[in-house]
Amino acid sequence: MIEILESGPFNTVQDLGRPGYRDIGVSASGAMDPLAVRIGNILVGNDENAAVIEVQTFPFSLRFESRTVFTVTGTDGNPHLNGSELIPWCAYVAEPGQVLELKQPPRLARAYISVGGGLDIPVVMGSRSTSLRGGFGGNAGRPLAKGDRIAVGEDLEIAMLPGLAVIEPAVALHEVFPAPVDGVLPIRALPAGEHGLFAGDGEAFWSQIWRISSRSDRTGYRLSGEPITPTATIEMRSHGVVPGVIQVPPGGEPIVQMSDANTAGGYPKIAGVIECDLWRLGQARIGARLKFVRSTHAEARAIEQAVTRYVEDVRLTSGMVKRALKAMA
C-alpha cells in the first residue's frame, strides 16, 4: 500500500490509456507523457502499461507502507525520499514508512511515479487510467486526495538492487527531438482537413509563436496568439478526433486536443500534431511558447522508429544489468 500525504487538485492514476472505445464516445485518456511511463515501468520491472501516478500539481508526497521499488520519471526536478535528494529516471527501494516528496520541477509540467508491481487498481474497459470526464477508472474516477490509500501489485523482482538509471529520452533522443530555440518549443504537425480553408491565415498558423494559455488541461491546450480565421463559415458534420488534432473554434485561437481528448468534434481542423511529439506538449507548461513545424508521414515514421529502438534498448539493457547484479549479489 501507499498512502497519499499531500496532493494538488489534478493528480491522477494513469497508464498508457484506454483506446478502442472512441466509437462509443470514451476518450482514451492515459498519461500525458507516455514515454516517461514506459521507461519508468521498465526500470522497476513492470509491464510498460502498468498503472502509475501522474503528478501535475505540486507539491506531492506519499508514504510507502511496505518495501517498494519505485522510480520518478518525466520530471526534470529531483524527488526526495525521507529528505534525501534522489535523481529522476533512476530506480530506488523505499523502506516501510519512508516518504517520497515531489516539488515543482524547474521547467517541465509532469512527473510519473512507477512502483514495482504497478498500482493494483481495477481495470475498467481495458485500462486503469482515470477518466475524469466519465468519472470512472483509476482512483474511483477522480483525482488523488490526501488520505487515499492505493494497493500495490505483487513485485516479483523486489530483490532487485537499486540504482538502475537511464539516460532520459530528451537527451538520448536529442537528434530526433530538437530542443527549444530561444525558449520556443518546435512541435511537428501535418496539415489537416480544413487547412485550405484558412488561406493566408494558414501560413500565419505555421509562422507565428503560440503560447499555451491558462485555460489548458489534460483535455486540451488552448493557444494564445494572433487569431486565425477561415475564409468561410462551415458547419461541419461531427466526426471522430484523436489527441493531437488542432481545431480552430470561431474565436480563432487553436485548441490542441490532448490525452483526455474529445472523441468527436466539429470545429475546422488546421493541423494534427504527430503522435511522437505529443509527450513534448504534455511536458510543456502553461505560458510556454511553441511553434508548429510542418512534418511528413515519413518523418513521423522515422521518429517513431527511433523511439521504439530507444525503449527496446532500455528494456534489454535493464534486463541484462539486473541479471548481472543478481549474479554478483
User: Could you list the residues that contact another protein (CB under 8 A)?
Assistant: 19-26, 124-125, 131, 133-134, 136-137, 189-190, 192-194, 233-242, 244-245, 249-251, 262-266, 269, 272-275, 295, 297-298, 300-301, 304
C-alpha cell at 146: 490526501
Which run of H or of E encompasses 100? strand 99-102
Q: Which is nearer to another protein, 158 or 190 (CB)?
A: 190
- Closest distance to another protein from the beta carbon of 181 (Å): 23
- Give the contacts of 203 (CB within 8 A, at least 6 positions apart): none
DSSP string, 28-74: ----SSHHHHHHHHHHTT--TT--EEEE-SS-EEEEESS-EEEEEES
In whole angstroms, what is the distance from residue 122 CA to residue 222 CA?
33
Q: Which is nearer to another protein, 107 or 309 (CB)?
A: 309
Q: Which is nearer to another protein, 155 or 194 (CB)?
A: 194
Cα atoms found within 13 Å of the Cα of residue 44, Cβ hemisphere only: 36
- Give the contacts of 139 (CB within 8 A, at least 6 positions apart): 12, 13, 121, 130, 148, 150
- Closest distance to another protein from the beta carbon of 105 (Å): 27
Which pairing describes strands 184-191 and 269-273: parallel, antiparallel, or unpaired? antiparallel
- Closest distance to another protein from the beta carbon of 229 (Å): 12
Q: Which is nearer to another protein, 208 or 238 (CB)?
A: 238
Residue 290, Cβ density class (10 Å: 0-12 exposed, 13-18 middle, ≥19 buried): buried
- Closest distance to another protein from the beta carbon of 292 (Å): 12
Q: Which is nearer to another protein, 101 or 299 (CB)?
A: 299
- Closest distance to another protein from the beta carbon of 9 (Å): 16
Q: Which is nearer to another protein, 20 or 183 (CB)?
A: 20
- Closest distance to another protein from the beta carbon of 89 (Å): 27
Which pairing describes strands 184-191 and 289-294: parallel, antiparallel, or unpaired? parallel
Q: Which is nearer to another protein, 212 or 271 (CB)?
A: 271
- Closest distance to another protein from the beta carbon of 283 (Å): 18
Phi, psi angles (nearest 5°) of residue 146: -50, 135
Query: What torsion, rounded to 10 degrees, do the Cα atoms 286, 220, 222, 214 define?
Result: -40
